[in-house]
Amino acid sequence: MQLRYLASRGPKKIVADAAPELSREKDAQPERRVETESSLPSQPPLARPPQSIPAPLIEAASDRSPDLDDALPASAPDPLRILDSIGEVVYDWDLRSDIISWGPNVRSVLGVSNVALIGTGRAFAECLSPDSESSRYEAIARSAASDDGAGAPFQICYGLLPPDSPRDAAIWIEDTGRWFAGPDGRPARAHGLVRVITERYKQDRRLAFESRFDTLTGVLNRASLLEQIGLFYAQAAKKKQSFAALLVAIDNLFLLNRTYGYDIADQIIASIAQRLRTNCRERDLVARYAGNKFALVLENCDAAEMTAAAERLIEIVGGAPFETTAGPVPAALRIGGVVAPRNGRAVHLLFQHAEEALDIARQPGGARLIAYEPSLAREDTRMKALKVSDEIVSALNDGRIILALQPLIDTRTGAPAFYEGLMRLRRKDGALVSPSSVLPTAEKSGLIQMVDYRILELGLKKLIEDPALQLSVNMSGRTVRDPDFISRLRAHLAPFPELARRLMIEFTETCAIEDIEATVRAIAEIKKCGARVAMDDFGAGHTSFKNLRRFDFDLVKIDGAFVQNLARSADDRFFVKTLAELAHHVGLPVVAEWVEDAETAKILTDWGVDYLQGDYFAPAAASDVKAPAARE
């Protein structure tokens, strides 16, 4: 910006006797007015100002065509009004006298009623916020640039505490300008433009904070944690030290959510983060690793010290409840720890081992703290799981996840009433893999939703191909509670709405009681789509009569583990008969799974069980081959 244009709009001075040629032409030419140099020059500093206006400049001004003046607007824009409207003010600073000359709108822009309080460089510097990383003086005096005659540019951002404003009313400034050197080559004068950028600064700070810290807890986020761990590895190598990584999980967070609500659970998460941070050393790292998990990295810490620190944190968090808007709420921790670099020579191995230790700590009845130790058996299990995960991904990509159809026999007619579509993985050599060797790994690796959605797609395709078919498919709890599940189900059914009445969605009893409120909502949404819903493995989770009435299921399937030995176990007969009577009491049809012999089929039929399913009638057959006929 040309600061000459921004000069105060005072009366223009008529230049007389500037040159003999101009005086002689006075009578012949209209009077010409030439502005004097602005008090905010864009030229070199006061240490070496021009002593007079060069004659060629005057001659050039006097030789302008009258037509040019006629082309100028009658009233030029008011720079002062424009600067006011966009929150900017200009200044000129003589570094030798330390005097700052401010533009006339400085009061409105900076909110300073007494301009004299910022009339010198020293006074202005005393108003800088302590949060400022630098100052205008430092930007100029320590500049690596040099003035080649046109000035050296600078730009800086700092906080300002106006002298007659509250001490917490800081405004943030973007200061852009040029400094000019004196005869000794050192900065002698500067001018520039000051812009108030408080809102932009706050937004930038907020974005910068969110990129590094977790917004709920204020501790580091996972990305920042992973960036900084490299420093711990470097220090450990340099000083021959160890450090420890802890994965800290809040015990039974889903119960806290269900009992108190998500808002209260968030308050507890934030309070636990604060308590962890308060009880760690300054150079230790605390980060939110996942929803209910924190990661702690402890500097210069061996195995014994890690155990002592973790036990102390468990005691500190569990020893006193957390104050929330719902009142005091207790919480407890489970911790998996690992010492590096001995048991984690790379970041991914470090947290993989911490996860393995935490998984053991979270098992029912397990110790609250588990320190990772290498195990050949565990490593073998991990490698097998990786192999299965790779096989699942490959099968999904190659279309080798298929349906196996098994009929459910109506005990009144002896004929198939509908079919269940069971997941099968076909290996590249054509062999089929049972679900029991695939699904647990898919659950743990996070691949289960991809498998579920593939099964849903295959099931709907089968319904389209066979208009007489009625089909049920299994979905995991993670999939059913996924916010996107219902929208995806609607999208699949939208082109073929008639399919919904022939489709049933199954999920397990354990999944149902894990989050009862979420299950109730999921069932309602599925039924709004027109599909039916069944509880699979009824009896495995010991659903209460109260919960069974809350769930609006269309069907319950008794867990096959109780049916398999029915003819040989009095306990199983008592339990299965009780489950069937309970379901019938609330008006739900009952399916018995894993029926493997005629005696079991007769017992269940005599008890009034509605449908039977098992290899006795027909094994599950892959849908890409002809299914065997069901036993009459």
Confidence (pLDDT) at 396:
93
Could you tell me the CA-to-CA distances from 510 to 256, 261, 284, 459, 476 in Å, in that order? 18, 21, 39, 23, 10
15-44 in b/e burial notation, b at 16+ Cβ within 10 A? beebeeebeeeeeeeeebebeeebebbbbb
- Report yes or no: 479 and 453 within 8 Å, Cβ to Cβ: yes
- Strand positions, DSSP E, 411-481: 416-426, 432-433, 471-474
What residues form DSSP beta bridges with 90? 193
The pair of three-digit structure tokens given for residue 278, joined into one six-digit string: 């308060």
Q: DSSP labels for 301-326? A: --HHHHHHHHHHHHHHHHTSPEEETT
Cβ–Cβ under 8 Å, residues 448 and 479:
yes
Check residue 270 and report its DSSP letter. H
Q: Looking at residue 170, what is its pLDDT?
A: 85
Q: Are 454 and 403 in contact (CB under 8 A)?
A: no
Q: Is 303 left (phi over 0), alpha (psi -120 to 50) or beta?
A: alpha
Angle, nearest 10°, between helix axes 485-493 and 448-465?
20
Say how far apart CA 249 and CA 246 lie, in whole Å.
Answer: 10
Q: Chain-centre distance of CA 539, in angstroms?
A: 38
Specify whether the CB–CB gap between 458 and 452 falls below 8 A. Answer: no
Regions in the chain scoring below 50 on pLDDT:
1-69, 625-629
Distances (CA, A) of 570 to 271, 542, 605, 609: 52, 19, 17, 18
Question: Parallel, antiparallel, or unpaired: how do β-strands 503-508 and 532-538 relate?
Answer: parallel
For the stretch 46-99, pLDDT in tens is 333 333 333 333 333 344 444 444 555 556 787 777 887 787 999 999 999 999
pLDDT given for residue 210 in this prediction: 80
Edge-first strand listing for the sheet containing 285-290: 285-290, 293-298, 243-250, 333-340, 369-371
Phi and psi, residue 212, nearest 5°? -120, -25
β strands within 489-593, DSSP E: 503-508, 532-538, 555-558, 590-592
| d(C-alpha 417, C-alpha 407), whole Å | 7
Residue 542 has a pLDDT of 60
Q: Amino acid letter at 225? A: L
| pTM of the complete model beyond 0.75 | no
Pairing state between β 369-371 and 333-340? parallel
Cis amide prior to 407 (ω within 30 degrees): no
Q: What is the DSSP string of 323-363?
A: EETTEEE---EEEEEEEETTT-SSHHHHHHHHHHHHHHHTS
Strands 401-410 and 416-426: antiparallel
Between strands 152-160 and 171-181, the pairing is antiparallel
Task: State the burial class of residue 3 (Cβ atoms within 10 Å of its Cβ: 0-12, 13-18, 19+).
Answer: buried
pLDDT of residue 33: 38
Sorted by sequence, the CB contacts under 8 Å of residue 475 that are 6+ apart come out as: 452, 455, 456, 485, 505, 506, 507
Residue 255: per-residue pLDDT? 82
